[in-house]
Amino acid sequence: MHLRLVEDKRAKSKSFFLKRSSDYFDNNLLTFLKKYFKEHKQDVRICLHKNSSSIHHDMIILQKKKNFYKPHKHLKKGETYHIITGSMICLLFNNKGKIVKKCLIKKNNIFRTPINTFHTMIPTSNYVIYHESKLGPFLKKGDSIFPKWADQIKNLKL
């Protein structure tokens, strides 16, 4: 399988960009994500946008079950998740850490997080693969706001 990917060595998690803007996401890349997960047992993403400075970001993300994704919010951005395979719970919180919405999303479901709302995702299948879409650019500092109570919900029972 010939892959059309370039690794983003500056990213926090394992990330790749498409080599050419004319490339598109297909089953070969879905197979790559699954194979990468099977070999490395870690999250991985393929970015469909040109770079971190792009004004719109589209990513195909594989996240594994039992990882903790710290609740966070974006002051000027919402996010849309479209499940490709697997399932996850999306939680929305008020500013004090109380859950205000819990939504199980499965294959072909779409969920939108509101702007300026704390949220997290919890994979419920062995891994979940989803398309995430949001405004760019990615700002290393200030892009995600983490509340003081975020670590306290690490072992949250749903």
pLDDT tens digits for range 122-139: 999 999 999 999 999 887
Q: For residue 158, count other CB atoms closer than 10 A to its CB.
A: 9
| Helix/strand/coil for 75 | coil
Non-local (6+) Cβ contacts of 108 within 8 A are: 82, 83
Domain locations along the chain: 5-153
Supply the pLDDT for residue 10.
86
- Assign 140 a pLDDT band (cuts: 50, 70, 90): confident
Supply the pLDDT for residue 2.
52
Q: Looking at the whole model, is its pTM more than 0.85?
A: yes
β 56-64/127-135 pair status: antiparallel
Q: For residue 15, count other CB atoms closer than 10 A to its CB.
A: 20
Q: For residue 151, count other CB atoms closer than 10 A to its CB.
A: 12
- Tell me: the pLDDT tens digits for 19-46? 877 778 889 999 999 999 999 999 999 9
Report which of 110, 119, 127 is spatially closest to residue 71, judged by C-alpha positions.
119
Kindly tell me the sign of the dihedral angle through the C-alpha atoms of 33, 30, 12, 115.
negative
- The CATH superfamily of 5-153 is Jelly Rolls (2.60.120.10)
Residue 91 has pLDDT above 80, yes or no: yes
Distance in angstroms (rounded) separating the CA atoms of residues 123 and 137: 26
Supply the pLDDT for residue 1.
43
Among all chains, which residue has been given the structure tokens 């929305």?
A: 92
